Amino acid sequence: MSLVADLNTLLGLDSVSYKVDLSKEELFHEAIANDRGRVAHDGPSDAQKAYATSLGVDGPLVYYTDPDCTGRRTKDTYAVAWPEVDDEIWFKADLNRYKPEDYEGLLKRVVQHLNEKQATLYVKNVFMGSDSDFAVPYRFVGEYATHAMFVHNMFPKDLDVADVDDRRWTMLNVPSFECVPERDGSRSEAAVIIDTRNRICLVAGRADYCGVNKKTIFTVGNYLLPKQGRLSMHCSANVGPKDDAAILFGLSGTGKTTLSADPERRLIGDDETIWSDNGLCNLEDGCYAKLIDLDKEAEPVIAAALSKPGTIIENVPPLPGKSMAECHPDELDLTDRSIAENTRFSYPLSANPNVMPNGQGPHPQTIVLLTADAFGVLPPIAILEPEDVMYHFVSGFTSRVAGTEVGVTEPQPTFSACFGGPFMAQKPNVYAGLLADKMKQHRARCILLNTGWTGGPYGTGERISIKLTRALLNAALEGKLDDVPTETHDVLKLRMPTECPGVPSEMLNPRQTWSDKAAYDAAAVKLRDMFRDNFEKKGFGSFGIEARI
């Protein structure tokens, strides 16, 4: 079936035109000429959205989102509660139920809107996953050329995949439509909805942050792949010189990207990885990096990619008194928060100098759960048993520090199940069970690596140095902690090595680094109770997860 006939049958689009699989250069010009929408709260709804820098088509495209969508609209993200999946999907605050009858009505109105305006839609045919054995065909259909260009950057394109038409997922992305909650059953004027029955992702309304086109289909992968026995993970992965692979889980601020970017190890991917019977593979073919306060010396790969053609800079303003066309991308002020805190940059994975061929690698020997404990309680490294792994994996703990947000005056705990809770469409025990099974099958070790504070909490103690963290990580990767003596933490029940090459032994037990031992003991009990409270509130026990703290 032709693309036009396919989209007419699937969606009812019969009065639109398509621009299919344009090159990135063509999409660059299309975006500047045609992408229109709101870019300021008090601005028009037909403002220009995309601009060239002084490099023109030989440099990046600069794109501005709607001011209400400078990040994912988590409260407006849904899955259709079809009867066959209502008990299967892990519905929660950032993946809500959408009534089937409301969804069907909304989809018809969105399609009618496009037909009536005789819209021009951009189409990109790509894949989710770099392994041809199970890569999911993904067709983007949307109003913005910028989004099509983003999808081209972020996903594999040339794979020999069977049954493409029968397994394809289609995203319909329509920023010009405005949802009406009373009519459409949405919470606001925008909705991002996953329809598992018809393999459709609907983005209706002002949800034009580029990451929506990546994270929505990643959530789909997190629903589909575990049903096939394949573990989809929000993590980075790399491979060492002895063909030894490792995966690193971690929330924002824990060092996942920094630690995975090791010059001695080849990168599989820095954000989304699949562990199958074939080993590891990257879900993507690109990187979507945060730009705010980027240290160009510490992150030279990202800095170098800023001025490359075919990349996309999101929500970074031009220099004062200049138009974007007068600005060289290397001159842009990456500390400027006037548009958004969450400024972003999309570039191809090939911009990294040391990557694995085809984004694939062997089964991992080491699993790393990263945390940044601002309470100063967790040891810098702990060796986890399989039951510990499941517990800490579903807990997904890190902490925010005082001063990063208004009203935050002391460290606050953050728990995100499986280190990516919003994107986990299956219930957490599904991922935890697969992780435990695969670790057992492939005899992988697991460590809890703390990149947070020692000697006291944030404001009193010191942040564990990157040098010390790398020494701990390298020792674990090289198997040097497999047989060392250990001691068990009295409160948190974690098994801590008592020696590690290149690391002072007194650093390995966090209690010894505090001058006030009673204060440490009180802080440890407080953190333990935070873990217990999260475990109880999330109902992990009902999923068959064993409480370990």
- What is each CA distance from 308 to 23, 284, 305, in whole angstroms? 15, 19, 5
* CA-CA-CA-CA dihedral for 294, 299, 304, 309, to nearest 10: -70
Q: What percentage of the chain's residues is helix, strand, coil (to nearest 5)? A: 30, 25, 45
Cα–Cα distance for residue pair 263/403, rounded to 1 Å: 33
Q: Which of 35, 184, 244, 271 is catalytic?
A: 271
C-alpha 408 chain-centroid distance: 24
Of 124, 139, 256, 489, the catalytic one is 256
CA distance 431 to 420: 11
Residue 336 and residue 316 in contact, taking contact as beta carbons nearer than 8 Å: yes
Would you state the structure tokens that stand for residue 355, as one six-digit string?
Answer: 């990557």
| 183 is an active site residue | no
132 annotated active-site: no
Compute the distance between CA of residue 371 and CA of residue 250 in angstroms, rounded to an integer.
6
227 is an active site residue:
no
Given the residues 73, 124, 214, 215, the one annotated as active site: 215
Q: One of 146, 196, 219, 257 is an active-site residue; which one?
A: 257
- Is 336 annotated in the active site? no
72 is catalytic: yes
Q: With CA atoms as reference, report the closest residue to 438 among 227, 286, 174, 229.
A: 229
Tracing tokens 């954000």 back to the chain, one arrives at 271
At which residue do the structure tokens 């996903």 appear? Answer: 155
Q: Is 215 a catalytic residue?
A: yes
Q: How far apart are CA 388 and CA 243, in angstroms?
A: 27
- CB burial class (10 A; 0-12, 13-18, 19+) of residue 331? middle
Neighbours of 502 (CB within 10 A): 12
Nearest to 265 by CA among 473, 447, 435: 473
Q: SS3 sequence, 115-159?
A: HHCCCEEEEEEEEECCCCCCCEEEEEEECCHHHHHHHHHHCCCCC
Which among 49, 344, 363, 427 is annotated as catalytic? 344
Per the annotation, the verdict on 252 as an active-site residue is: yes
139 is catalytic: no
| Integer CA distances (angstroms), 472 to 72, 168, 234, 387, 448, in order | 34, 43, 22, 22, 11
How far apart are the C-alpha atoms of 314 and 62, rounded to whole Å? 6
Active-site residue identified among 24, 72, 147, 538: 72
SS3 assignment for 282-340:
ECCCEEEEECCCCCCCCCHHHHHHCCCCCCEEECCCCCCCCCHHHCCHHHCCCCCCCCC
Residue tagged active-site, from 234, 266, 427, 489: 234
User: Among the options 252, 350, 460, 465, which is catalytic?
Assistant: 252
Question: Token pair of 174, please?
Answer: 């329509």
Active-site residue set: 72, 215, 234, 252, 256-257, 271, 344
